[in-house]
């Protein structure tokens, strides 16, 4: 029988916090008194996460499934892999760091039962650094203006999705995407609720400053052509302005003769135009790069195996140790 609820949790080097996650997650879901499954997607962890996940699978095989990647493909690819193997009517995504309390899952499920097919969440009081909070709010406003996707707190992955939305997401084959925004575009009746936010239970964030910048590039270029259109309009404006400047300089040449005072101004204008051109080349390159990655049609991720109910016990016990041995050889 298919469960009502599927909870999808990407895992990457989370061995320090997995015990706390297990201790809070399973009781929280048991308290909902509904059928559920938990899908852990190991995104190429280099620590002991695989062995801990396999042990948890052996303890609760009836509600636990573990998807093992053969490498690191990123958080959003891990979520998409979880979507593809999920069986529930309601899908909830949750980070493993416990910054979003598992106890909040019930609130999302209750909201979905009211008829919504997408329930986002807004952190009541963020427990992040000041620079990260400010940068996130700025990017939220910029993204909403550019893409017209209304997600108040885009960095919060605690969200619920209906089966109708997930089926459409699974039909997409985008190499670079932002899952909450992609799902939002398919939702008929989206909404948001406020949830609690806690400090990270253990370890540190896997998102560096560069990773956050790349994520926002993917978000903007993957859901809108407005950056290209803005640059096109800017190019036309600069071309018109340059034509006026040429006419002005020619008029001064005929009226006042040769002048040397404006040389540095011309250099400044030239360097400004060069900067705009280089920016435009980079912007076009972002779109061309996305097209190049898409047309290669390579697999977005490779699943090594899936631990799930009905799997042979000996095979389930052997997999994590084989995986760890391969990592040690690779080093």
CA torsion sign for 232, 233, 238, 243 is positive
pLDDT(324) > 50: no
Per-residue pLDDT tens digits for 80-106: 999 999 999 999 999 998 889 999 999
Q: Tell me how long the chain is.
A: 331
**pTM confidence score:** 0.75
Per residue in 136-185, pLDDT tens?
A: 677 777 767 777 778 888 778 899 999 999 999 999 888 778 898 889 98
Inter-axis angle of helices 75-85 and 163-171, to 10 degrees?
A: 110
């Amino acid at each position: 029988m298919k469960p009502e609820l599927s909870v999808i949790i990407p895992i990457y080097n989370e061995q320090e916090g997995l015990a706390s996650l297990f201790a809070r997650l399973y009781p929280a879901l048991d308290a909902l008194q509904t059928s559920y499954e938990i899908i852990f997607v190991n995104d190429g962890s280099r620590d002991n996460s695989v062995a801990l996940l396999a042990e948890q699978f052996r303890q609760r095989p009836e509600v636990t499934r573990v998807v093992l990647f053969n490498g690191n493909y990123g958080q959003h690819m891990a979520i998409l892999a979880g979507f593809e193997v999920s069986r529930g009517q309601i899908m909830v995504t949750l980070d493993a760091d416990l910054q979003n309390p598992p106890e909040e899952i019930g609130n999302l499920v209750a909201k979905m039962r009211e008829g919504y097919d997408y329930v986002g969440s807004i952190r009541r009081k963020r427990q992040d650094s000041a620079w990260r909070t400010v940068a996130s709010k700025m990017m939220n406003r910029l993204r909403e203006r550019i893409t017209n996707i209304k997600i108040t707190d885009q960095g919060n992955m605690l969200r619920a999705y209906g089966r109708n939305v997930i089926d459409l997401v699974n039909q997409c084959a985008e190499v670079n995407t932002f899952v909450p925004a992609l799902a939002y575009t398919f939702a008929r009746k989206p909404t948001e609720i406020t949830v609690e936010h806690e400090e990270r239970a253990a370890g540190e964030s896997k998102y560096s400053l560069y990773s956050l910048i790349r994520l926002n590039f993917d978000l903007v270029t993957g859901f809108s052509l407005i950056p290209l259109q803005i640059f096109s309009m800017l190019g036309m404006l600069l071309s018109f302005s340059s034509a006026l400047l040429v006419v002005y300089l020619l008029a001064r040449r005929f009226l006042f003769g040769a002048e040397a005072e404006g040389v540095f101004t011309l250099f400044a204008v030239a360097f400004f135009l060069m900067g705009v051109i280089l920016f435009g080349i980079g912007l076009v390159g972002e779109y061309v790069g996305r097209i190049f990655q898409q047309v290669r049609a390579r697999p977005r991720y490779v699943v090594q195996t899936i631990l799930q109910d009905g799997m042979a016990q000996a095979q389930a016990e052997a997999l994590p140790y084989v995986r760890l041995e391969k990592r040690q050889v690779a080093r």
